[in-house]
Amino acid sequence: MKKNVLAVTLMLTLGVTAACGGDSGGSPDAQTTTGPIKIWLSNNPEEIAWGEAMVKAWNAENPNEEVTAQEIPAGQTSEEVIGAAITAGNAPCLVFNTSPAAVPQFQKQGGLVALDSFEGGADYVESRSGDSAQQYQSPDGQYYQIPWKSNPVMIFYNKDIMKEAGVDPENPPLATYDEFLATSQKVVDSGAAEAAIWPAPTSEFFQSWFDFYPLFAAESGGQQLVEDGKATFDSEAGESVANFWATLYAEGLSQKEAYNGDSFADKKAAMSVVGPWAVAVYGDAVNWGVAPVPTSSGMSPEEIYTFSDAKNIGLFSACENQGTAFEVLKFATSEEQDGELLEMTGQMPLRADLQSTYADYFDKNPEYETFADQGSRTVEVPNVPNSIAIWQAFRDEYSASVIFGKGSVSEALAAAAAEATELAGQS
């Protein structure tokens, strides 16, 4: 019962606070004002270590503009906590864990400051991230987030399980859907693992980022879920991907029930859809290999796109010293700090010249090289109104038809596409 009380109370509290009104702290002067600021970091230990080191370096050079860092306060998701803070008017200056999917909502709430409004802001974003920056532009043409780091998702596989299933562990056939399904069948038939691959079959809006979306990005040659205000997935590529996953579920190669834990770490599944964070997490505990996500007819790896799983930095309107916040944002995304981030977390800074800039790092850590290469071909979630509602609508139809086999896949995609297009067209 605590959760429902929490949900209702949070919503009502947000309403109460919103009705109370108050000072936004977002006056035009704030953009040039300097002074102490607060920032929020993600709550994973590696990022906290990087964040604390970055803050220490900044504070040493800027004693009058002290930065105080803390983890994002506990909540169901970071987005809920940030959304509540925006409404209450106590959001920090910078959040180093801003989900691109939530940016349209934060923007609508009046919680974000466009980086274009700072001198050289847009140029800084575009020069650092290159062409991929465009995916993070809002419909009004401005940047309300700086693309910070990505976790391009790929297929991790357990070599020991592959070997036990009679599959070549060094080069398992996973490039085409047919190969992937045949390999999966061998894994399950041999009893080497309970499932070939076990993405969470649950209904949260973000789960499609780790099953359908990476494969759709690959199959469609880099399309976003919604482009030019229209859903793109009601297409040959979308249907092909959805049918592929539907086959995995129908044949029992993927489980319809959520695994309570990490199915890949527990060796219940032979494969997993992961980002470069997995290198450090699985380390020596799993004898792993990595492959690009499959496509229907097989593509060469250098043509394959995937989902970026990026986390960005937002500058919030409640910040009183936005001048300092913008400088800290640039400092934290400088070549030096991006290098530190890569070194300490294994996550890929969203820089156009990633591999050449940190060539030494990739020479020393070849296991990250594959991810770095994939990082140059990523697709972000669309930056459109009602982004989360669109993902939820998609997930609901996907769950029914693909995971639980109710109704036809093509009808489900058509229904989800109609709803997504309608939602994207609303303000």
Partner 1 sequence: MKAEAETASTDKPSSSRSRRTAILGRQPLGLVFAAPYAVFLAAVFAYPLGLAVWISFQDYFFAAPGAQVDRPFVGLENYKTVLGDPAVRRSFLNVIQFLLINVPLTVVLSLVLASALNGAIRGRAALRVAYYIPYVTASVALVAVWLFLFSSGGMVNQLLGPLAPDPSWLVNSALAMPVIAIFVTWKQLGFFILLYLAALQNVPKELYEAAAVDGARRFRSFTNITVPGVRPATVLVVILATITGANLFTEPYLLTNGGGPDGASSSPVLVMYQKGIEQGNPDTASAIGVILVIGVLLISLVNRKLLERD
Contact residues toward partner 1 (CB under 8 A) are 1-5, 7-8, 10-26, 76-77, 79-80, 83, 86-89, 91, 105, 108-111, 194, 200-205, 255-258, 260, 317-318, 386, 388-389, 392, 396, 399-400, 403-404, 406
Nearer to partner 1 among residue 84 and residue 218 (C-beta):
84
Radius of gyration of the chain (CA): 22
Q: In sequence order, what are the residues at sequence separation of 6 or more whose Cβ sits closer than 8 angstroms to the Cβ of residue 379?
A: 135, 213, 217, 222, 223, 224, 305, 306, 307, 308
Nearer to partner 1 among residue 188 and residue 299 (C-beta):
188
Least gap, CB of 246 to partner 1 (angstroms): 13
How many whole angstroms separate alpha carbon 37 and alpha carbon 394? 39
Least gap, CB of 280 to partner 1 (angstroms): 27
Taking the CA atoms of 83, 89, 95 and 100 in sequence, report the sign of the dihedral they define: positive
Least gap, CB of 249 to partner 1 (angstroms): 11
Nearer to partner 1 among residue 155 and residue 403 (C-beta):
403
Roughly what angle, to the nearest 10 degrees, separates helices 236-250 and 212-219? 140
Tell me the H-state helices in 191-224.
212-219
Taking the CA atoms of 142, 145, 148 and 150 in sequence, report the sign of the dihedral they define: negative
How many whole angstroms separate alpha carbon 33 and alpha carbon 83? 24
Structure tokens at 237: 């590529």
Least gap, CB of 253 to partner 1 (angstroms): 15
Residue type, 121: G
Q: Which helix (H) or strand (E) holds 409?
A: helix 409-425
Nearer to partner 1 among residue 50 and residue 198 (C-beta):
198
Token pair 């309970």 is at which residue? 194
Least gap, CB of 76 to partner 1 (angstroms): 8
Least gap, CB of 392 to partner 1 (angstroms): 6
Nearer to partner 1 among residue 91 and residue 188 (C-beta):
91
DSSP tally for the chain: helices H, then strands E? 17, 14
Nearer to partner 1 among residue 21 and residue 366 (C-beta):
21
